[in-house]
Homo-oligomer: A and B are copies of this chain.
Amino acid sequence: MSQIVTFGEVLMRLSPPGNRKFIQSNRLEFYFGGTELNVGISIANFGGRVKHISCISDDFIGNTAISYLNKFDVDTSSIVRSSRPLGVYFLEVGAVMRPSAISYNRSHSSFSEIEASMVDWDSSLKDATWFHWTGITPALCKGAYETLKEGLILARKKGITVTADPTYRSGLWKYGKDAKSTLSELLEYSTIFIGGVNEINEVLGTDYGYSNEDFIEASKLLIEKYPSIEKVFDKIRTSLNSSWHKIRARMWNGKEFRESEDLDITHVVDRIGTGDAFAAGLIFGLQHYEDYKAMEFGSAACALKHTYEGDVNFATVKEVEAILEGNTTGRLKR
A residues sitting closer than 8 Å to B (CB atoms) are: 14, 18-31, 57, 59-61, 63-64, 67-68, 70-73, 84-86, 88, 90, 92, 94-105, 107-108, 169, 171, 239-244, 263-269, 271, 300, 303-304, 306-310, 314-315, 319, 323, 327-334
Is there contact, CB below 8 Å, between B267 and A303? no
Q: Which 6 A-B pairs have the closest CB atoms?
A: A242-B330, A85-B105, A108-B108, A71-B71, A239-B329, A98-B307
**Contact between B105 and A307, CB atoms less than 8 A apart:** no
B88-A105 in contact (CB<8A): yes
**In-complex Cβ contact of A61 among B63, B95, B103, B332 (8 A):** B103
Interface centre among A26, A70, A86 (most CB of B within 10 A): A26
Contacts of A330 in B (CB 8 A): 94-100, 239, 241-243
Q: Name A30's contact: one of B21, B28, B95, B268 (CB within 8 Å).
A: B28
For the complex, what is the distance from the CA of A246 to the CA of B59, rounded to whole Å?
30
Cα–Cα distance between A29 and B314 once the two chains are bound (Å):
21
Contact between B60 and A67 (Cβ–Cβ < 8 Å)?
A: no
Given contacts A30-B26, A330-B94, contact A266 B240 (CB under 8 A): yes
Cβ A332 vs Cβ B271 within 8 A: yes
Set B84, B171, B306: member contacting A96, Cβ < 8 A: B306
Give the docked Cα–Cα distance between A57 and B304 (Å).
25
Could you write out 13 A-B pairs with CB less than 8 Å apart?
A18-B309, A21-B308, A26-B30, A28-B29, A67-B73, A68-B71, A98-B304, A107-B108, A169-B334, A241-B266, A243-B266, A243-B330, A244-B266
Residue of B nearest to A244 (CB): B266
Partner of A308, one of B19, B319, B329: B19
Min distance, Cβ A315 to any Cβ of chain B, angstroms: 8
Instruction: Please indicate the chain B residues that have their CB under 8 angstroms from the CB of A92 in the complex.
Output: 60
Give the distance in Å from the alpha carbon of A25 to the alpha carbon of B60 in the complex.
13
Which of B57, B98, B169, B323 is A97 in contact with, Cβ under 8 Å? B323
Hey, which chain B residues are within 8 Å of A323, CB to CB?
97
Which of B70, B94, B101, B264 sits near A73, CB closer than 8 Å?
B70
Q: Which residues of B sit under 8 angstroms from A105, Cβ to Cβ?
A: 85-86, 88, 105
> Distance in Å from the Cβ of A275 to the closest Cβ of chain B?
11
Which chain B residue lies CB-closest to A322? B99
Q: Give, as a whole number of angstroms, the nearest-CB distance from A14 to chain B.
A: 7
**Residue from A108, A169, A269, A307 having most chain B Cβ neighbours under 10 A:** A307
